[in-house]
Amino acid sequence: MHLLVCAGTGCHSSQSDLVYEMLRDEVQRKRLEGEVQIIRTGCFGFCEKGPIVKVLPDNTFYTQVKPSDAREIIDEHLIKGRRVERLLYLDPETEEHVLDSKHMGFYKKQLRIALRNCGTIDPENIDESIARNAYQALGKVITEYTPEETINLIKRSGLRGRGGAGFPTGLKWEIASRNDADQKYVVCNADEGDPGAFMDRSILEGDPHSVLEAMAICGYCIGATKGLIYIRAEYPLAIRRLKVAIAQAREYGLLGEQLFGSSFSFDISLKYGAGAFVCGEETALIHSMEGKRGEPANKPPFPAQSGYLGKPTNVNNVETLANIPVIILKGAEWFSSIGTEKSKGTKVFALAGKINNVGLIEVPMGITLREIIYEIGGGIKNNKKFKAVQTGGPSGGCLTEKHLDTPIDYESLTAAGSMMGSGGMIVLDEDDCMVSVAKFYLDFIVEESCGRCAPCRIGNKRLYETLEQICNGKGTAEDLEKLNNLSNVIKDTSLCGLGQTSPNPVLSTLNNFLEEYKEHVFDKKCRSGKCKNLLYYVIDDEDCVGCMACVRVCPVNAITGAKKLTHYIHQEKCIKCGACMEKCQFDAISLLNDYPRVTPAMVDA
Amino acid sequence: MMEKRTGIKTLADLKRIQEEVSRRIGLRDKAENPESLVQVKVAMATCGIASGAKEVMEYLVLELDKRGIDAVVTQTGCMGYCFAEPTVEITLPGREPMVFGDVNPKRADEIIERYIKNGELVDGIIPQNYNTIES
């Protein structure tokens, strides 16, 4: 028999280590070591009801176990074979105790559709994919459905683009299918560029065939025979696995001429991107594939009318495509039964930042941020206080405490001043400075702006400079207003999606954390201590022995003092090099994040 | 692993191959196949490799062979548990798959000796915290 004790951070903070020890002691006392093993495990994803103890092989799932419950579990369950009822999970709907964790799948907040094969199959062996239904959907649409029927099925499913904007996928296909041309293209956008996002990379590395199959299905629907995957050269492993997958699919006759004995032919090749963020925008992406500069163009014409090499082109994101085969096999109604009214299905998120269970998750639309952070994510690292989640990358915004219980979908995130984006979720805690966070994203945008239109090229640079001034303690009240106005101008006048959304991190932090901006500007204070120039070196009167060591080491003569008298640091001269603090042997120098207003009575004796 | 195969021409062809490979890989019907091998999957996406999955995989391949254990070691994609990479999933014949986190060669040794040989669990199991479309 095995007792599994959750040692994830959430359960750990509610004394699961003590539960573990008590169980172990009790087992030793009863001399059961031979038959019972007690094991520490990772997070069960049910931190709300921790600490969790699971008994194998009967799958009993005890919740909120206290150290004092250990003896009862051993005596009753292990020795007498009777489950400890009061520790079983109480189903809130039926108000019955759940005996077997097999019946409590509902506690698992995650549902893997796009990630269905990731971490399950060998991505370099097509047989394993086929065993898990790969290419069945392609075979089905080619032999049983017309392109129109397939498009209608996708439309009915309610699937929307997972790259961030959320355009209905079926509609996109329909538009591309209606434009007649001698050649059309299906493009997979694998130019994942948001900082902290790795959903698409993981899908391509873990399950490349699902994307290849979906591209062929799209080709069948819109009448394209060629597929192109635009992938950044920074993803060498994903590229290698795609190449292997394409070669294997060709060998099996699942890509190439006359698929499934029909007249439909489809083949896929790769195009490499150099990793420019703007190339995730579909028109810029197409330019880059054509060998031109990766700059966006005005729409219309949309790629569905005139795209790659001037031909009708349908561009879909990796995750969008990974959903397609399942929708076809399991049906539009099944898919649209998951999620919210306007956002169907699931979304993959890359959880990063100050969260315990950093990782890749897939959750049904409509889940709340609280469930993601505190249950799946296991809460904030080191029990710090939650401050915000940055979603949607540099184009997105911050969601704060007041958004924790908002069901997540495309509309609700936009209404909250952020966006779905591609799915990067960076969790910030009380130690993060929101002005610095906004500055970080603007720095990224300035680097990645293609320079084509002035608002984005020049405006974002000015935004960045203003933020830098504020972080350096040189901000003014006008700066705050300027940030707001300039952001709105950039939003309204930029050419492409990158510029139109680039000020979002600024606007959203201004909206939610104006207090912090004001502190930087008026009090010259950074509450989290992240802005170096708003930290102050001060000498403690009581600890300073007057040894002159700091006076001598200060490179800018900012410290005055005489032997055996308390020294003093002149803040206006200090360049915050930290040399004095390093030199002091009496720990008399400390860093404050508030401007020291008390002037010592005696400075120069 | 993969057999040379050409020309899937019909959906029936595909289904036939699917049945054949499922049987061989035993992804579904482990329970009916008690004599099947120990299956070891190492999460080898960029995240896993960056935290040492390659060394672990090499170690497992080498050591399982040395210790005369009949096992298939394959690579797989990201299991999603980035906080506990490298991760390894082990399926003993007739039993539910078990995922072990933070595996290094030393832990791999423990897993081979205790779990694979004797069926004893060891610390650091990661419970499956998601539903799949099959469930």
Check whether residue A296 and residue A351 sit in a common domain.
no
Q: Which of A6-15, A212-221, A570-579 has the highest mean pLDDT?
A: A212-221
Window from A396-405, A410-419, B2-11 with minimum mean pLDDT: B2-11
Rounded to the nearest 10°, the torsion over CA A40, A41, A46, A52 is -20
CA atoms of A70 and A25, how far apart (whole Å): 9
pLDDT score of A91 more than 80: no
Q: What is the mean pLDDT of residues A311-326?
A: 97
For A384, half-sphere exposure in the C-beta direction (CA atoms, 13 angstrom radius) is: 17
Predicted local distance difference test score (pLDDT) of residue A43: 79
Q: What is the mean pLDDT of residues A313-333?
A: 97
Check whether residue A413 and residue A484 sit in a common domain.
no
- For residue A550, give the CATH number of its domain: 3.30.70.20
CA atoms of A496 and A455, how far apart (whole Å): 11
pLDDT score of A102 more than 80: no
Q: What is the mean pLDDT of residues B53-70?
A: 92
Contact state of A202 with B47 under an 8 Å Cβ cutoff: yes
CA distance A38 to chain B (A): 8
**Domain presence at residue A450:** yes
Q: How far is CA A219 from the centre of its chain?
A: 30
Predicted local distance difference test score (pLDDT) of residue A515: 95
**Domain presence at residue A200:** yes
B12-38 pLDDT, tens digit per residue, is: 889 988 888 877 765 444 444 545 688
A589, A539 in Cβ contact below 8 A?
yes
Residue A234: which residues within 8 A CB-CB, separation 6 or more? A275
Check whether residue A83 and residue A134 sit in a common domain.
no
Chain A CB within 8 Å of residue B119 CB: no
CATH of B33-126, one of 3.30.460.10, 3.90.226.10, 3.40.30.10, 3.30.470.20: 3.40.30.10
Select from A522, A544, A579 the last residue of a domain. A522
CA atoms of B76 and A203, how far apart (whole Å): 11
User: Residue A130: which of B18, B77, B120 has the nearest Cβ?
Assistant: B18
Select from A332, A359, A393 the last residue of a domain. A332
Burial per residue of A181-220, b for 16 or more beta-carbon CB atoms within 10 angstroms, e otherwise? beebbbbbbbbbbbebbbbbbbbbbbbbbbbbbbbbbbbb
Check whether residue A150 and residue A188 sit in a common domain.
yes
Answer whether 0.90 is exceeded by the pTM: no
Check whether residue A352 and residue A452 sit in a common domain.
no
Give A359's pLDDT tier (boundaries 50, 70, 90): confident
**Domain presence at residue A338:** no
**Domain presence at residue A37:** yes
- DSSP secondary structure code for residue B94 in this structure: T
Predicted local distance difference test score (pLDDT) of residue A268: 98
DSSP annotation string for A544-585: -----HHHHH-TT--EE--TTS--EE-TTT-----HHHHH-S
Q: What is the complex's ipTM, to 2 decimals?
A: 0.82
Beta-bridged to residue A313, according to DSSP, are A185
Check whether residue A61 and residue A172 sit in a common domain.
no
Check whether residue A198 and residue A235 sit in a common domain.
yes
Check whether residue A209 and residue A243 sit in a common domain.
yes
**For an interface test with A, which of B14, B90, B128 has the most A Cβ atoms less than 10 Å from its Cβ?**
B14
Give A439's pLDDT tier (boundaries 50, 70, 90): very high
Predicted local distance difference test score (pLDDT) of residue A477: 95
Q: What is the mean pLDDT of residues A527-552?
A: 91
Contact state of A361 with B80 under an 8 Å Cβ cutoff: yes
Neighbours of A298 (CB within 10 A): 8
Give A291's pLDDT tier (boundaries 50, 70, 90): very high
Provide the number of structural domains found in chain A. 5
Q: Which residues of B touch A116 (CB under 8 A)?
A: 132-133
Check whether residue A197 and residue A304 sit in a common domain.
yes
**For an interface test with A, which of B129, B134, B135 has the most A Cβ atoms less than 10 Å from its Cβ?**
B129
Which carries the bigger pLDDT value, residue A109 or residue A178?
A: A178
**Domain presence at residue A115:** no
CA atoms of A249 and A246, how far apart (whole Å): 5
pLDDT score of A161 more than 90: yes
CA distance A185 to chain B (A): 24
Check whether residue A135 and residue A194 sit in a common domain.
yes
**Domain presence at residue A604:** no
Check whether residue A318 and residue A171 sit in a common domain.
yes
- For residue A384, give the CATH number of its domain: 3.10.20.600
Q: Which amino acid is at A590?
A: S
Check whether residue A356 and residue A446 sit in a common domain.
no
User: Residue A359: which of B21, B77, B80 has the nearest Cβ?
Assistant: B80
- Domain extent, residue A41, equals 2-107
Predicted local distance difference test score (pLDDT) of residue A341: 94
**Domain presence at residue A528:** no
Select from A107, A142, A172 the last residue of a domain. A107
Q: What is the mean pLDDT of residues A436-457?
A: 94
- For residue A486, give the CATH number of its domain: 1.20.1440.230
Chain A CB within 8 Å of residue B89 CB: yes
Chain A CB within 8 Å of residue B41 CB: yes
